[in-house]
Amino acid sequence: MRLEGIHHITAITENAQRNVDFYAGVMGLRLVKKTVNQDNPTVYHLFFADEAGDPGADLTFFEYPGAAPGRAGVGMVHRIVWRVGGPEALDFWEGRLGALGIEHRREGDGLHFADPEGLDHELLVADVPDAPLIADHPEIPRELALQGFHAVRAYAAAPDASTAVLEALEFGATEAGWEARGAERGGLYIYDPPPEGRPVQGAGSVHHVAWACAPEEHLAWRDKAISAGAHPTKEIDRFYFKSIYFREPSGVLFEIATLGPGFTVDEPLEHLGEKLSLPPAFEHLRDEVEPKLRPVVNPRAEVR
């Protein structure tokens, strides 16, 4: 058994419209699902990904209106690393971000910048065999677009304490960090020394990182986590995938999520993310929940 890299990354936003403007407008991702947080169905859960809504390019956000800014610290993911195809893609993104007044810096094969709430991103030229996961956007040529996740970087005070859990989950040690690599995809998990100051979960911070597995192996991965001393939840049916959660020893919240059934279970591919989707267990709340959610306009749809 091998995990198939990063399934999705979930973060927090204070403002859904500003969030959509940045990720669907500036970064060119597709808004593939507009639903609610299943643990708190009064707030949005927005999903951005490639054109097909594939795991491996799926960045999601809980919207908490009025949330104070977060601050990444020990036990938190602090940077999302995306793959791009080559130096010409970095040139394109450097120009695009600059034209939009977004601060950035280029370092070697990477380009660093943050979203409007301070969530840190890096675009990296990565030599991997994985198929690129690309969203269509009228302003971004496909060969220059984001190609899916490459890594997450987390702050850890004692990274060696996580070795047993990561090895139980079949991560392999690399020069850069730890890699979860399956038959189709891989993703890196990299530790950095933590900054001073107390970590704060809030707007612009990562809530958890999910790793992908085959549906038939899901409970076996739960057993592996338990064998290394982790305390995973029971399997939770999220309708679009099934999940288990636990904190690895550094403090980062891990999820193991199944590859499917996917976002087309309740919307056709060509209309993903156009309306509020509620899983069957939450449909009875629509009349109560939908009027309280702030309307969101997708900027990508506006320029088509």
The one-letter amino acid code at 215 reads: P
pLDDT tens across 151-201, in order? 999 999 999 999 999 999 999 999 999 999 999 999 999 999 999 999 999
Can you read off the two tokens belonging to residue 169? 């989950």
CA distances from 271 to 32, 48, 274 (A): 8, 14, 6
**pLDDT computed for residue 173 by the predictor:** 97
- Summarize the chain as % helix, strand, coil (round to 5): 25, 35, 40
Domain boundary assignment for the chain: 6-302
Residue 303, pLDDT > 80, answer: no
What pLDDT, on a 0 to 100 scale, did the predictor assign at position 39?
A: 97
CATH architecture of the domain with residue range 6-302: Roll (3.10)
CA angle, 262 then 264 then 270, to 5° = 135
- Cβ 243 vs Cβ 236: under 8 Å: yes
What is the model's pTM?
0.97
Q: Of how many residues is the chain composed?
A: 304
pLDDT in tens, 249-298: 999 999 999 999 999 999 999 999 999 999 999 999 999 999 999 999 99
The answer to whether the beta carbons of residues 198 and 160 sit under 8 Å apart is no
Contacts of 216 (CB under 8 A, 6+ apart): none
- Residues 263 and 32 sit within 8 Å (Cβ to Cβ): yes
